[in-house]
Amino acid sequence: MGPDIDRLPPEVERNPRMDTKVRDRVVTRGRMQALRPLRAMTDGPSTLSAPPIPATPLPAQDEGDVALGPDELTALLAINRAIGRHLHRDHLFGAMATCLKAVVPTDRFGIELPIENDQLQGHLLTPRGVNDEPTRPTLLPARGTACDWVLRHHEWLVVSRRDELRERFPVTFDVMRTGSMESLCALPLITGGSCRAVLFFMAAAPGAYRHVRRTLVEQIASAVAAALDDCLAHEEVRRLRDQLAAENVYLREELKRDHHFDEIIGNSQELRQVMALIERVAPTNATVLIVGETGTGKELVARALHEHSARRERSLVKVNCAAMPAGLVESELFGHERGAFTGATEKRIGRFTLADRGTIFLDEIGDIPADVQLRLLRVLQEHEFEPLGSSKTVKVDVRVIAATNRDLAAAMAAGSFRADLFYRLNVFPIHVPPLRARPGDVAPLVHYFIQKYATKIGKHVASVSDATMQRLASYPWPGNIRELENVIERAVILSPGPSLEVEAQVAPLSSAGQETDADGGPILTLEDSERAHILRTLKGCGWVVDGPRGAASMLGVNPNTLRSRMKKLGVRRTNDVAP
């Protein structure tokens, strides 16, 4: 056999169009495979503590078995070409199937890959046609399969009848019985001393692989192992590339927004207590639930938590659970595979994957659909999930910060929010007080927003009149800081000079003789308060509902929602309010 090792096969020498790399790869592999002894399964002593596996030994190699025939060499060269041409799993497996089916007698063949949770992911190889479809992997428990044994021992396994597998490998036996297969040949795909997968052939006829061509199948296994290794490496590169691209898109969107990481404005005792809680919990990985009314600055608290944590070098990924359609929440959070549902034309990376080793901020968590709550609970408990349409488990290291303006305890009691999810989220609650509970913070907030919008608009506004500041400080601000910011922006735009003036109807003074609550706000029914607030906002916006300067945007609600509330409360353009 030695003199034949350094010679090119005649078919190779006669093919001037053959790629030089392919030619060299065939020769090199021929040398390596000729030097590597085949460790065929026999009835002799086994390294396992259990009885040896009954298997048909491969025939001894004679000198005539060394040289490959023209059809065999053509198939081997085609597989080697596929290494450089097909780096997508579906295309690669299809090309392999087309090449192998013509050489190795088989009725069913494929590749088994080890995955998480002690499972095997099987890919049946099917020749590719004009109407190519992605391979649909199957999942089997690794234990009890012949392929698992081959993976762990780096040994061939050739079986002439499936009954030989009944006791030792019951899972494989059941698969073969279901498919009416009798013969099995399983080969380890080894690269760099590691077995990445198993290539298997099955046939309906008994003893189909008793006289298998050892030289050919060894070289095929080596070529397939190299092809699969390249494919898996490129898959990992594509995965990382897609993740980085998704992160870049997300970060570009975030940079377009005017965020202020360290701009929690105010010096009231209530706000100092919030900051003290942030300082304590930020360095930990504890889940935080931020509770407060709309517009109180819950997102700023979440950003402060992230910026003062060990994860500050990674992404803070924000998800507004209330802004997403119910049917897309799962896809947004966990991602999906191409074809997972109607309209899923491309693979999508979920927000939890983007937030890996960073922080995810789930705003308006109280609006998350009931069917997604269980999956979210699993992520909090196990730090893993499966994207839609995928059987592959994704593990993530994510810190979760959630926020809501709803009473989750009441929702839990009503059955619309899972109790176990509430307890998982409520590890460290932070309550953000409304602006009416800290009137001392109104003045610094006013000056901050004046500077912000005067610079943005290009106007010189240097002061606030005493009457205006008194009006702003005494107003109860049902929309909290968001409402105050909108009022100041409008006032800066309308201000005729360097002193800021706010129209009286936008923020009226509280009546001295009117009964007020403990926070200084007038006591009104909830409906009257809502009606007055909507009416006041509409007047301030010139009765414009839609658009970035419209009342809906000012109030932080959908325009259709605002129109519905106006109709219910009797708010009309004539300024007449129904009793």
- Give the pLDDT confidence of 460-506 residue by residue, as tens digits: 888 888 888 888 888 889 889 999 999 999 888 888 888 888 876 56
pLDDT interval class at 529 (50, 70, 90) = confident
pLDDT band at 252 (very low <50, low <70, confident <90, very high): low
87 and 140 assigned to the same domain: yes
Interval 536-551 mean pLDDT:
82
Q: 303 and 179, same structural domain?
A: no
What pLDDT is recorded for position 26?
40
CB count in 10 Å sphere of residue 237: 11
Cα–Cα distance between 338 and 388 in angstroms, integer?
A: 9
Are residues 424 and 449 located together in one domain of the fold? Answer: no
What CATH number is associated with residue 543? 1.10.10
Where is mean pLDDT largest: 248-252, 325-329, 383-387, 431-435?
A: 431-435
Q: How confident is the model over 148-168, as pLDDT tens digits?
A: 999 888 888 899 999 999 989
Nearest residue to 477 via CA among 512, 514, 513, 520: 520
Average pLDDT (324-338) is 82
Does 245 fall in a domain? Answer: no
Which has more pLDDT, 258 or 240?
A: 240
**What is the C-alpha to C-alpha distance for residues 146 and 166, in angstroms, rounded to an integer?**
11
82 and 119 part of one domain: yes
- 579: Cβ–Cβ under 8 A, 6 or more apart, which residues? 570
In a domain, 572, yes or no: yes
**pLDDT tens, position by position, 274-316:** 999 999 999 999 999 999 998 999 999 999 999 999 998 888 9
pLDDT at 505: 57
Beta bridge partners of 288: 401, 428
pLDDT of residue 8 exceeding 60, the answer is no
Residue-level pLDDT at 212: 78
Please tell me whether residues 546 and 519 are part of one structural domain.
no
pLDDT in tens, 45-96: 333 333 344 444 444 344 445 566 777 777 677 767 765 566 677 777 777 7
564 in a structural domain: yes
Region 242-246 average pLDDT: 71
CATH number where 213 lies: 3.30.450.40
- In a domain, residue 280? The reply is yes
| Claim to verify: residue 288 and residue 421 sit in the same structural domain | yes
Q: Is 37 helix (H, G, I), strand (E, B) or coil?
A: coil
Per the model's pLDDT, the better-predicted residue between 436 and 238 turns out to be: 436
Tell me how far apart the alpha carbons of residues 408 and 357 are, in angstroms, rounded to a whole number. 28
Q: Which of 21-35, 122-136, 328-342 has the lowest mean pLDDT?
A: 21-35
**Residue 526's pLDDT is what?**
67
Residue 224 pLDDT greater than 90, yes or no: no
Instruction: Give DSSP secondary structure letters for 239-306.
Output: HHHHHHHHHHHHHHHHHHS---TT------HHHHHHHHHHHHHTTS---EEEE--TTS-HHHHHHHHH
Closest CA to 282 of 262, 318, 306, 301: 306
More confident residue, 106 or 425: 425
pLDDT at 404: 94
H or E stretch including 403? strand 399-404
Q: What is the pLDDT of residue 575?
A: 40
Q: Check: CB of residue 490 under 8 Å from CB of residue 506.
A: yes
> Does 248 fall in a domain?
no
Q: Are residues 415 and 345 in the same domain?
A: yes
Instruction: Determine the average pLDDT of the residues in 22-46.
Output: 38
Q: Examine the domain organization and report whether 552 and 513 are in the same domain.
A: no
pLDDT of residue 371: 84
98 with 73, same domain? Answer: yes
DSSP H helical segments within 43-110, as ranges? 70-85, 89-101
- Mean pLDDT across the stretch 527-545? 80
CATH number at residue 319: 3.40.50.300
Q: What is the end-to-end Cα distance of the chain in Å, rounded?
A: 104
Q: What is the arithmetic mean of pLDDT over 374-389? A: 89
In eight-state DSSP terms, residue 58 is P
> 11 and 73: one domain?
yes
Task: Identify whether residues 388 and 496 lie together within a single domain.
Answer: no
Share of the chain above pLDDT 70, in %: 75
What's the whole-model pTM score?
A: 0.51
| 155 shares its domain with 174 | yes
In a domain, 308, yes or no: yes
Looking at 385, 409, 433, the residue that finishes a domain is 433
pLDDT for 135 equals 60
Q: Pick the last residue of a domain from 375, 403, 433.
A: 433
d(CA 430, CA 419): 19
Q: Give helix 526-540 / helix 559-569 axis angle, nearest 10°.
A: 120
Closest C-alpha to 528, from 482, 570, 557, 486? 570
CATH code at position 496: 1.10.8.60
What's the whole-number average pLDDT of the chain? 77
SS3 450: helix
426 near 327, Cβ under 8 Å?
no
Report the pLDDT value the prediction gives residue 20, as an integer from 0 to 100: 45
Res 42: pLDDT:
35
In a domain, 241, yes or no: no
Contact 484, 438 (CB under 8 A): no
- Of the candidates 292, 390, 272, which has an alpha carbon nearest to the alpha carbon of residue 340? 390
> Highest-confidence range of 107-116, 187-196, 403-412, by mean pLDDT?
403-412
Identify whether 405 is part of a domain. Answer: yes
Alpha carbon distances (Å) from 239 to 37, 358, 386, 392, 417: 37, 18, 15, 13, 34
Range of the structural domain that residue 186 is part of: 2-236
Last residue of a domain, one of 399, 433, 467: 433
The pLDDT value recorded for residue 427 is 94
- Per the structure, the count of domains in the chain is 4
Q: Answer for the pair 448, 265: CB distance below 8 angstroms, yes or no.
A: yes
